[in-house]
Amino acid sequence: MSIKQLPPHLINQIAAGEVVERPASAIKELLENALDAGATQIDIDIEQGGVKRIRIRDNGRGIPKQELSLALSRHATSKIASLDDLENVLSFGFRGEALPSIASISRLTLSSKSQADDQAWQLQGSGQEQFDDPEPCSHPTGTTVDVRDLFFNVPARRKFLKTEKTEFRHLEDVVKKVALSRFETGFTLRHNQKPVLNLRPATSIEMAERRVAEICGPAFTEQSIRVEHEGADLKLTGWIGLPTFSRSQADLQFFYVNHRIVKDRVVTHAIRQSYQDVLYHGRHPAYVLFLEIDPTKVDVNAHPTKHEVRFRESSLVHGFMYRSLHKTLADLRPQDQLAGGAQMNEQEPDKVTSLQNSMRYSSLGDQQSLNIPVKEQVDFYKRLHGNEAVSLTQPHGPSDVDGIDQTKNSKWPNSNSSISQTHAFNQSSPTGSSNHSMPVQRALTDTGEIPPLGFAVAQIHGIFILAENEHGLIVVDMHAAHERITYEYLKRSMAEESIRSQPLLVPLAISVSKKEADCADSNPDTFQQLGFTLSRLSPEKITVRAVPSLLKNSDIESLVRDVLSDLLTHGTSERIQQAMNEILSTMACHGSVRANHRLSIPEMNALLRDMERTERSGQCNHGRPTWTQMSLNQLDKLFMRGQ
């Protein structure tokens, strides 16, 4: 066959096969054009899942009459004019393919009025390359794109479409993703004349959070943390879900680069690593994150649909993302989570019930103690208040476990301060017959403020601790909480002591590719800091001469290969630290208090105070929650009080 030049119409239809996969693909392109035009309000009307009709009206700058036909021509755009423009592009679209591709497979009507014109103009097409001359029409400043009978002249593509309900679900997801990218723009969405979304422009953080709640659900905003980090010419903002708000699938993950939603393996890996210590096995984090980066440091022209980008310094982005989110999750304390819960309680509509509750419980501190005999361990309490006081979290077992000195009690979370607050116990009668009227929990604090996790009141079956705080009831999983406290201590101890290496009696030779061997050669300091000593024997063979003492019984060869793979892919690796953390986690698990271990009230309070000071104390080493809050309103509902 002879070589021929393809006709323009066929070129557009081939391009449409790449750009317009289904109605959702078409609406993505049209919405991005509207946002690039500076629209502050976009109205969307859909019929039959987008197959019958897609109409998008915006109040942007509009298109002049003389440029209407050009807008539907292939590779015609107002967004770039040179290579420098492409490298600095901040607009969503820039190739000039969307409108002509959509017009080649549908009956398209383009109506627009520019800010400089007094008259609006309209252009119509029926899937052909040629269009009639623009005609006058009635239209406010802005543009309306009316797409009817999508794929009417491409029946093969139409056969691949799903049901109306499925296609609209995909289309709605696209609208929500775009709406999250520009909070300052309002969106309305109607399907078959029925309103589906009505998102008003958001001009503040509070209004933006309301939009996030409408799109991601109120549960996400109630159980998420605000993120704001800046450094290395990068800025990260948004919201990340608490580890306890994990998902069975990655369906609530939105990541934007310069307001463009993308899927990137480097970013996904960094976020996953940030949650590695607190996320339950097999679960996925939820997040809405925005990364702002110099446009010259990211290539947005790496995918036909622009769903993927390419960072020029991927290791820098990975490290910034990991450090920012890791620190945010580590800094989270019970008081931060309870502060969010308190704000939610204040926003409940039933103010009368809240007022009644405050009146009902305000007199709690004035009640007389009940004359019920209680056997108190007075001698044990006296020992706790003396110089020989022992913290609940003090380690037991050998003084040195694989290079970690466990005899340095000063590094363990100090619970003596919380234990000393229980001095009021010694002032009361063991039988509870004293005539003091102040409840124990009021006498335990010197400042008059109740700690975030409150004060312990009881232990259930040697497993759960019940505590009372200002919001209601706290239930703590005793073993899970102590496991996290012990685990964080072991990690801090290792970080302060540095990683101890143990030379191998017989060096381990590993066959690798030349690329991996070069990577090992160029990163000697990285391996040295991780406790490994590597040397190169040949172009495709390396030797391991020393390993971290904690990992002496691990599969060293697999670990080294995984680290080299991470370094080549992401420029960094947390594999060795993860392997050591797994061992520390096991040690913490075996060294923590077990079920059916009876704790005294001072010991329970000591554990609560340690939880308030410990990083990531909301989850155990395996990602399970360590405590939960039940508000007074929730307790009232359980017993139908006030109903």
Q: Give the C-alpha separation, 391 to 395, whole Å.
A: 9
| C-alpha torsion 524→527→531→536, nearest 10 | -60
Beta-bridge partner residues of 120:
137
Burial class of 86 by CB neighbour count within 10 A (0 to 12, 13 to 18, 19+): middle
Q: Between 3.30.565.10, 3.40.50.720, 3.10.20.600, 3.30.470.20, what CATH number should domain 8-197 receive?
A: 3.30.565.10
Asked if residue 643 has pLDDT above 90, the reply is no
Give yes or no for a contact between 78 and 36, defined as CB atoms under 8 angstroms apart.
Answer: no
Pull the structure tokens for residue 575: 């594999």
CATH topology of domain 205-332: Ribosomal Protein S5; domain 2 (3.30.230)
User: For a pLDDT cut of 70, what percent of the chain falls above it?
Assistant: 75
Asked if residue 345 has pLDDT above 70, the reply is no
DSSP symbols for 584-613: HHHHHHHHSPPTT----HHHHHHHHHHHHH
Q: How confident is the model at residue 96 (pLDDT cuts 50, 70, 90)?
A: low
Most confident of 207-216, 279-288, 330-339, 379-388: 207-216
Asked if residue 239 has pLDDT above 90, the reply is yes
Examine domains 8-197 and 205-332 and report if their fold is the same: no
- Residue of higher predicted confidence among 75 and 171: 171
Q: How confident is the model at residue 524 (pLDDT cuts 50, 70, 90)?
A: confident
Asked if residue 342 has pLDDT above 50, the reply is no
Most confident of 203-212, 429-438, 512-521: 203-212
Asked if residue 341 has pLDDT above 60, the reply is no
Pull the structure tokens for residue 156: 């093969």
Asked if residue 607 has pLDDT above 70, the reply is yes
User: For a pLDDT cut of 90, what percent of the chain falls above it?
Assistant: 33
| C-alpha torsion 551→554→555→559, nearest 10 | -40
Model pLDDT, residue 348: 39
The string of pLDDT tens digits covering residues 98-108 is 888 888 889 99
Give yes or no for a contact between 222 and 340, defined as CB atoms under 8 angstroms apart.
Answer: yes
Question: DSSP alpha helices (H): ranges in 143-254?
Answer: 155-158, 164-181, 205-216, 218-222
Asked if residue 406 has pLDDT above 60, the reply is no
Q: How confident is the model at residue 431 (pLDDT cuts 50, 70, 90)?
A: very low
Asked if residue 183 has pLDDT above 80, the reply is yes
Model pLDDT, residue 202: 94
Amino acid in the structure at residue 328: T
Asked if residue 225 has pLDDT above 80, the reply is yes
Output the average pLDDT for the chain: 78
Model pLDDT, residue 498: 67
Asked if residue 621 has pLDDT above 70, the reply is yes
At which residue do the structure tokens 């909301």 appear?
Answer: 618
Q: How many CB atoms lie within 10 A of CB 187?
A: 22
- Rg of the Cα atoms in the chain: 32
Q: Give the C-alpha separation, 585 to 486, whole Å.
A: 9
How is the chain split into domains, by residue range?
8-197, 205-332, 350-643
